[in-house]
Structure 1
Amino acid sequence: MPSGFFALLDDISALVKASAASLDDIPTQVAKTTGKVSGIVIDDTAVTPKYVVGLDPSRELSIIYRIAKKSLINKILILGPAALVLGYFAPWAITPILMVGGAYLCYEGYEKVHSLFGTPHDEQAENEPIQQITPQELEEQRVASAVRTDIILSAEIMAIAYSQVTGQAIVNQIVVLLAVAVFITVAVYGFVGLIVKADDLGVHLAGDKFSPGVQKLGRGIVKFMPHFLTILGYVGTAAMLWVGAEIIAHGIPYTAHLLHELEQSLASIPAVAWFAKALACGIAGLALGFVIDKVVKLVKK
């Protein structure tokens, strides 16, 4: 009996050591996954600040917090478990779901480009009555819209995160998905919070109690932020097209091979290789978004 008990303890000890060794690799897996979803993270960061534009400045951080909280809940309680379930029962469905999400990103990216270069509004929009809503209702609409966009991006993030740990122990999969969900949500919305409050910091630094140099810096921040937000919007649109097309391309063997060949042909200059791939994906995403837009309009008719 004692020998059996000690043998059981040895087995448990070996299992714990194996689990610990496996968990030691978690930070590496999280870092690798974060690199894979960098384009989506850029997109998420660039898109979110627009949802607080025009609202009460005192409500900005509260709104960002509400969006971030719902984003984290969606990742941890819905999207992460969904990825695990699909990966176990229907692993073949992961790639098509990613491709559908990529197509949606291309469509959204095309819509943003079209809004920049197309007509601001049509006659039907002119004849429509103006809807009057309260600031609270406007805030609720902005939050709901932000969460809808975020859930698509979050689904892409969690699906890509799961694809990096396929075949590993279930504990590793769960820990990596949780770590990615928390890290990316905190990083994205923490940075967004800094962006939307940067102008307030500039106004504070421009106060009379600071030295002329600091005041000049504060005024510079205030003047620069509108331009920065505009640039960030362009970057977000470009990232949306690039990421969406690249996700779709990797789901099709032929186009995945073409992208790989493009990278290999410029492998001696990594920066040029990255830019060429991003540019090719961006153009392809814009073209695909155009096609999807026409199909959507046809279906609506």
Structure 2
Amino acid sequence: MAGASLLTLLDDIVTVLDDVAILTKVAAKKTSGVLGDDLALNAQQVAGVRAEREIPVVWAVAKGSFVNKAILVPAALLISALAPMLIVPLLILGGLFLCFEGVEKVWHKIAHRDEEAAQEEALTEALIQPEVDLVQFEADKIKGAVRTDFILSAEIIVIALGIVSGKDLTTQVLVLSGIAVAMTIGVYGLVGAIVKLDDAGLWLTQRHPNGALHHLGRGLLALAPQLMKALAVVGTAAMFMVGGGILAHNIPALHHLVEGAHWAAETGFNLGLGVAAGACCLLLWNGVQALRRKKS
């Protein structure tokens, strides 16, 4: 009898773990777009600090990210237990915010191009002067990166929550916790590797004056800035695709438009929807800001 009970218990555990593995895989796939955006944004956020301070800054942001997840996962579980009807509205609001942030980023890049160039030039001059104290600059970088991480982490957790809603509490806890830990380690491990690419390239060129390793180092030096630019573009596109996808999958009228469509058509629809929704949100936000300024 005891042996049969033990086997039943083990079978239940295996079943739960199988469900957790499957749901975690689905959640990871669904949140991969936000993950790409998270990676791109955080790589940009911590770029620009002195070479010897890059890893400490990445580590400080990673610790902030773990704190964010420690807040968000229990909050998501409480919502699922007490007010599950809020999951879809939260997903839609999160999708709209991603679209808004993407359009706002593109618009700011276009409208303030000269201002951004001047800021980058001033920062470059400060970085090459060892007597300049950049402690406050680093603190601002870390604070901004942790704030950005909180927003994107909330998106990841809410998307994952939408996948495991209706499952038992144990499965929800394991999936959300697994996604939170894996995403944090994955993102900041990659961010650390990306920001040190140029240092690795410089080390190889100095250590090996000629030969294949020297050429590899030169290649890494050339690749690093291009990779950062590519990540910025990919990250912005991911914001539109993920935000548009959230809207399309959670608003029935939009979902029917792409139901059964080829993945390329669905991706294009999500991208276009994300841009359109973000533009509407930006216009609305600017209108509200204009009214507030007029009243004050």
* Fold match (TM-score > 0.5): yes
User: What's the secondary structure of 2:164's corresponding residue?
Assistant: coil
Structure 1 equivalent of residue 81 of structure 2: 88
Residue pairs, 1:8-87, within 5 angstroms? 14-75=8-69, 77-87=70-80
In the alignment, is the contact (CA less than 8 A) between 1:166 and 1:173 conserved in 2?
yes
For 2:23 and 2:150, how far apart are their aligned partners in 1? 23
The code of the aligned residue for 1:92 comes to: M
Listed as ranges, the matches of 1:1-301 within 5 Å are: 14-75=8-69, 77-120=70-113, 134-209=133-208, 211-260=210-259, 264-265=260-261, 267=262, 270=263, 272-301=264-293
**Structure 1, unpaired ranges of 5+:** 1-5, 123-131
- 1:274/1:249 CA distance change after superposition, 3 Å: closer
Question: Percent identity, aligned pairs only?
Answer: 36
Instruction: Give a deviation string over 1:181-223, Cα, whole Å, max 9, x none.
Output: 1111111111111110000111011125354222122112112
Q: Report the CA distance between 1:120 and its aligned residue.
A: 3.7
**Offset at 1:88?**
0.9
CA distance in 1, matches of 2:254, 2:267: 17
* Equivalent-residue separation in structure 2 for 1:219 and 1:184 (angstroms): 31
Residue 151 (structure 1) shift: 0.7
Task: Please list the CA deviations of residues 116-138 of structure 1 after superposition, one character each: whole Å capped at 9, or x if unmatched.
Answer: 2224478xxxxxxxxx9941111
Give structure 2 stretches of 5+ with no counterpart: 116-125, 127-131
* Residues 107 and 292 in structure 1, CA contact (< 8 A), matched pair in contact too: no
User: Which residue does the alignment assign to 2:122?
Assistant: none
Contact 2:96 2:243 in 1 (8 A): yes
Kindly provide the amino acid, as one letter, of the partner of residue 41 in structure 1.
L
Partner SS state of residue 54, structure 1 = coil
Say if 1:212 and 1:250 are closer, same or farther in 2 by CA, change over 3 A.
same
Q: Is the 8 A contact 1:30 1:180 kept in 2?
A: yes
Paired amino acid for 2:60: R
Question: How has the CA–CA distance of structure 1 residues 279 and 244 changed in structure 2, closer, same or farther, with 3 Å as cutoff?
Answer: closer
What per-residue deviation string (whole Å, max 9, x for no partner) do you get for residues 77-126 of structure 1? Answer: 2111111111111001111122222222222211211122224478xxxx
Q: CA RMSD in A?
A: 2.6
